[in-house]
Structure 1
Amino acid sequence: MPDLRTTPLHDRHAALGASFTDFGGWSMPVRYTSDLAEHHAVRQAAGLFDISHMAEFTVRGVGAGAVLDHLLAGRISTMRVGKAKYSLLLDENGGVIDDVIVYRRGEDDFLVISNAGNRALVAAEFDRLVGDIEIADISDDHALIAVQGPRAREIVEATAGIDDVTPSLADLGYYAWSGGTFRGDDLFIARTGYTGEDGFELLVANALAPALWDALLASGEPLGLVPAGLAARDTLRLEAGMPLHGHELSTDILPAQAGLGRVVAMDKDDFVGKDALAAASDDLPVLVGLTAEGRRAGRAGYAVLDAEGAPVGEITSGALSPTLGHTIALAFVAPASAAVGTDLLIDVRGTRIPATVTALPFYRRNA
């Protein structure tokens, strides 16, 4: 894949026998052994993911919180130092350019992590709107490694070379971060993830990424940790009802349609897209979960029909759930067909499969 970018861990993946795919212009491991085995490992013990393709921006300077209040749909300026917040970058029409996570590292110091495929778009919005605030795209200098699963904390705590973690991981809440070191260099540890499990995302300088990967594997393999690829990551996030940009999120989709109205602070004086959201129709298609029996899953683009066979929507993501043992899907459907318990049909290559609107998420971990 000569035209694709590679992460600092590419050689590690190749040595482990990974199969690769093009993801947002990056050559990324889609699996190492078995999609199912990697998925189940995350649910039962832990998985190790390379997510270094993600984009990272620092936002610094007096008034940085207010600038992010204007740029993003959420209220960022009131975040406490040490916390994280999921938010949305909208265009003037209220559509979703990208979904991001914002970390407050200091009074006027924020870290924003965005999706790899949208890095240039996010950078352009920063350039257009930030004024005198100092923005730095640090993506090319750092790697991001995720440890996800019920044994994630135990694994990270036992990893050789990780020191000086403050606050301790035992005291770290969800959607918060700790500072620390790995082999004496800065390490940023966030208690966030994209699998529906407990877990951590570790940001480290590129030069130390292979050593950190090796150390995490050495610590975790006796506890059931396995390297996991994009295929498992996708079924895990789908079970957790988490949207994927390009499927459940796009500039053609408003936050409320995707069930994300709660992350939009409409009481802010102003932010990009606010006027369009305020004027939006209440009759737009909305995102729902669908469950069906059997093993034939609805895939992105498949039609959703009402009980009489009339089209009411379209699948955006679907799979046979490894954890639940039946098919699940996310779909945008007409509001009249969106109530939990509504019986619908999925057109799977000409066969109409009965499905039921189901509350999200499909899977919720034990606290």
Structure 2
Amino acid sequence: MSLKRTPLRDFHAEHGARLVDFAGWEMPVQYRSILEEHKAVRRAAGLFDVSHMGEVDVQGPGARAFLDSLVTNDVAKLSAGRVLYTPMCYENGTVIDDLLIYMRGAEDFFLCINAGNTPKDLAWLGDQAARFNAETGAGSVRITDRSAETALLALQGPAAAAILQPLTDVPLAALKYYHFTTGQVAGIDCVISRTGYTGEDGFELYHASESAPALAAALLEAGRPHELELAGLGARDSLRLEAGYPLYGHEISDQVSPLAGGLGWTVKLDKAAAFIGRDALRAEKANGSAQRLVFFKTGDRRIVRAESPVFSGEAGGAAVGRVVSGTLSPILGEAIGSALVDSAATDSAAQLWVDIRGTRLDLQLVKAPFVPLKKSTTL
């Protein structure tokens, strides 16, 4: 089966990217090195191709009510030009996907969804829209997949605004975190969103797929005086983990609820709209989650890989959880990660630990983010 390609596949190859299979897409995992790309984003800026993400229009007179019935966060509080981060759950409270909702107008929204979940999400949205329209009237909500025609570049880091501003007339200083607007960048029509997945200030630029190579080249040229680096999926993952951001299939999944996965702040159980999964999440909130997400560091450079068992207390006991994400923090110079652990084990005084090729490594539980971030970029 051939891999899908973003409009920037040839651009990546020309710039020396190492391309890998990611969720069925041929994507750059790194250019020079993950370590250097990660440090560049924290120090200056990095440019990421995230055109594999899905984009979906949700429109019609019932669009807001429809979305509010699907997601755990409160869509009713959105206004035009704002962005909302939210999980979308099954009836049992586990997560279908975590996504961004953009409000263009009272009857006009679009979603940014995870690449690997796009087919599943589209099927779910279609089924739920058919149900909603049957209840509220034909044409109340319309779902349109815009993924193939939309490319997405993420410019992330403390120098992002300085790089982007000369290319656009949009006053970037006036654009707040988790807000968006429209305008031209290097002569290309874009949705300019002050969002990102690295924990740094930055922008995500939605634009027509055919314009992606020209926009990437313009951003790269504008960024040269600011030490902008092309960055791949490897740095994107280590950056998001340092920031304490979840990754679908790891911290949250169709087996993990947003409450267990550390996203309780996104679950508005008392919002006016009933949403799919609310009853299950109410019960979990009342009774407590069986497992809890914890973040850890080790004081050691050896990476603790995902799926490694987590133990409690002395050797010889049963596992009390598993690692869901692990990497070497380029900023801290030690291994960091996250784990889903039995809640009782996190409440006890017993030390959590993992076994790395016969060596016990104690997990030092910490509160994310692992490195200082600007307050405005914490989810």
Stretch deviating more after TM superposition (334-343 or 31-40) = 334-343
Q: Give the corresponding residue for 1:219.
A: 222
Q: 2:313 aligns with which of 303, 307, 318?
A: 307
**Structure 2 residue aligned with 1:142, among 132, 144, 150?**
150
SS at match of 1:256: coil
Deviations 1:246-288 (A, max 9, x none): 1111111011001111101111341111122122341411100
1:214-253 equivalences in 2 (<5 Å)? 214-253=217-256
Structure 1 residue 366: Cα displacement:
3.9
Match of 2:11 in 1: 12
**1:154 has 2:153 as partner:** no
CA contact (8 A) 1:88 1:96 kept: yes
| C-alpha displacement of 1:18 | 0.5
Q: CA deviation at 1:178?
A: 1.5
* Contact 2:313–2:350 (Cα < 8 Å) also in 1: no
Q: Is the 8 A contact 1:340 1:359 kept in 2?
A: no
Matched, 1:272 2:280: no
Alignment-derived partner of residue 363 in structure 2: 355
2:177 pairs with 1:174: yes
TM-score normalised by L of structure 2:
0.92
Post-superposition offset of 1:364: 2.8
**Cα deviation digits, residues 216-252 of structure 1 (max 9, x gap):** 0010011010100001111001101111111111111
Moved over 4 A (4+): 339-342
Q: Deviations over 1:165-206 (max 9, x none)?
A: 2xx210111111021024555310101111111110000101
What does residue 29 of structure 1 align with? 28
What code does the residue aligned with 1:195 have?
A: T
TM-score, normalised to structure 1, is 0.95
Separation in 2, partners of 1:52, 1:296? 32
Question: 1:271 is matched by which residue type in structure 2?
Answer: F
C-alpha distance in 1 between matches for 2:308 and 2:249: 15
Identity across the alignment (%) = 46
2:240 partner letter: R
The aligned amino acid for 1:301 is: E
Indicate how the Cα distance of structure 1 residues 78 and 362 shifts in structure 2: closer, same or farther if over 3 A, else same. Answer: same
Cα distance in structure 2, aligned partners of 1:283 and 1:97:
18
Q: What letter is aligned with 1:295?
A: R
Count residues with an aligned counterpart: 361
Supply the distance in 2 between the matched residues of 1:366 and 1:75 (Cα, whole angstroms).
24
Question: What SS is found at the alignment partner of 2:363?
Answer: strand
In structure 2, C-alpha distance between the alignment counterparts of 1:180 and 1:350, rounded to whole Å: 56
Matched, 1:287 2:293: yes
- Name the SS of the counterpart of 1:92 in structure 2: coil
C-alpha RMSD over aligned residues:
1.6
Secondary structure in structure 2 of the residue aligned to 1:77 = helix
Moved more, 96-105 or 337-346: 337-346
Residue 68 of structure 1 aligns with an amino acid whose one-letter code is L
1:307 aligned partner, one-letter code: G
Q: Residue 136 of structure 2 corresponds to which residue in structure 1?
A: none
